[in-house]
Amino acid sequence: MFAGKFNASVELDLRSLRQNESSAENGLSLASDPAGIVNFLDMINNLKGDSGRGYYMQMVIGTPGQTLNILVDTGSSNFAVAGAAHPYITHYFNRALSNTYQTSGRGVAVKYTQGEWEGELGTDRITIPQGPSGTITINIAAILTSEGFFLPGINWQGILGLAYPLLARPDPSVEPFFNSVVRQTGIPDVFSLQMCGAGVSASTTADPAGGSLIMGGVEPTLYRGSVWYTPVLEEWYYQVEVLKLEVGDQNLNLDCKEYNSDKAIVDSGTTLLRLPVNVFSAVVEAIMQTSLIDDFSSGFFDGTKLACWMRGETPWRLFPKMSIYLRATNTSLSFRITVLPQLYIQPVTNIDGTLDCFRFGISPSANGLVIGATVMEGFYVIFDRAQKRVGFAVSTCAENGGVPFAEIAGPFLAEGIASDCTRGVSLREPVMWVIAYALMGICGLVLIILLIMLILPCRRHRDGEITDESSLVRHRIK
């Protein structure tokens, strides 16, 4: 155990979506674009990076164009780029050099699970060398100050939020990037993502070809087998419904509401599989029971230690598979996505050329279950916003020697599971907004009453002196 921290083909039909249903859960959005606006083959391998440093794509911003690498994040909704120098980035977007940049005069601030930034909202034109043809005008936030957002060793200078408008800051009126692309180009409201960093060490110095972001549909050469879809429950994050978890063949047997507390989302911007604390503890316990390792340090599971083996040894045979059951679009059915240990026991570094060290790709979460890169790297994930669903199929790039690191199976009857595993969980963010605004209104009303009390003539006793009560109010306000 090593103690320490480590930073680690088809084209698009713009006229209509053609559904090719080979099974109840196997719908695809495939077609061709005679105008040549979008060619999915041009988008293959348009991402670089890995789960430890993020997956990013190249974009050209402004007039004349400035080229930046932009992190792909399905867990936020703002398009933001560095607007000032920072020690951990090589260059930034210089607004003064762009003839087409227009400021809105509004400030914006965004906080993530890790890191935050503040900046200025504006608009500008962008082109994507390996994306839809043409120039698109989008809302852009220039990051002027940040904390814990840009990290050592990264090779990106901005973030592309691909979630829904409800998460946009400072409010949902700021149209997100992909909404602008769909509106201005007419492509279907679908994008799909393949992330190819499975098995890549976080200490690798060069960035490999990290995957593909297909805008407008599905590229069938990037997956094998069937595509299974789960409904998007609420259009803010890509919120889905998890029915149960298994470690090996062992069902954790938790109430399904535990898995969805306070939400379960699919988020490419999160490195690990994050589980609610109770679920995480149950998973660790099950792994320790089914693993072939007799005595394992808890430091490995809480992220404070790495596990190291002699170089060339493969530790994955010592660990079980893990499966997540998702509700299918036919809500009486479910399907399961299974990750092999190659996805959640992750290589990060080697020591003196003799030891290979690994980290645990799962962590506890205080704000819901997050299907992050640890799981997504095993699958081709389809964000079919037009039909309000997320699809999973086994990725063609998550394998070794022809053996895939992920599996998918179904259908399974969802009997014995609550019809709604999200009911009764913690309040979601939109509800919290309503409560916050209501409390602000109440506070404002109280403040007005207090001001009126100060302005109105004070009641006096017959001797003309201020009463003790009114005097107290006045002096406390001061």
- Known catalytic residues? 73, 267
* Plot region of 148 (φ>0 → left; ψ -120 to 50 → alpha; else → beta): left
Answer for the pair 119, 83: CB distance below 8 angstroms, yes or no: yes
Residues 240, 62 contacting (CB under 8 angstroms): no
**Closest residue by Cα to residue 81 from 142, 171, 8:** 142
CA-CA distance, 292 to 274, in Å (whole number)?
24
Tokens coding 239: 């919120």
Q: Which two tokens stand for residue 347?
A: 């290589």
- In three-state form (DSSP H/G/I as H, E/B as E, the rest C), the secondary structure along the chain is CEECCCCCCCECCCCCCEECCCCCCCCCEECCCCCCCCEHHHHCCCEEEECCCEEEEEEEECCCCEEEEEEEECCCCCEEEECCCCCCCCCCCCHHHCCCCEEEEEEEEEECCCCEEEEEEEEEEEECCCCCCCCEEEEEEEEEEEECCCCCCCCCCEEEECCCHHHCCCCCCCCCHHHHHHHHHCCCCEEEEEECCCCCCCCCCCCCEEEEEEECCCCHHHEEEEEEEEECCCECCEECCEEEEEECCEECCCCHHHHCCCCEEECCCCCCEEEEHHHHHHHHHHHHHHCCCCCCCHHHHCCCEEEEEECCCCHHHHCCCEEEEEECCCCCEEEEEEECHHHHEEEEEEECCCEEEEEECEEEECCCEEECHHHHCCEEEEEEHHHCEEEEEEECCCEECCEECEEEEEEEECCCCCCCCCCCCCCCHHHHHHHHHHHHHHHHHHHHHHHHHHHCCCCECCCCCECHHHHHHHHHHC
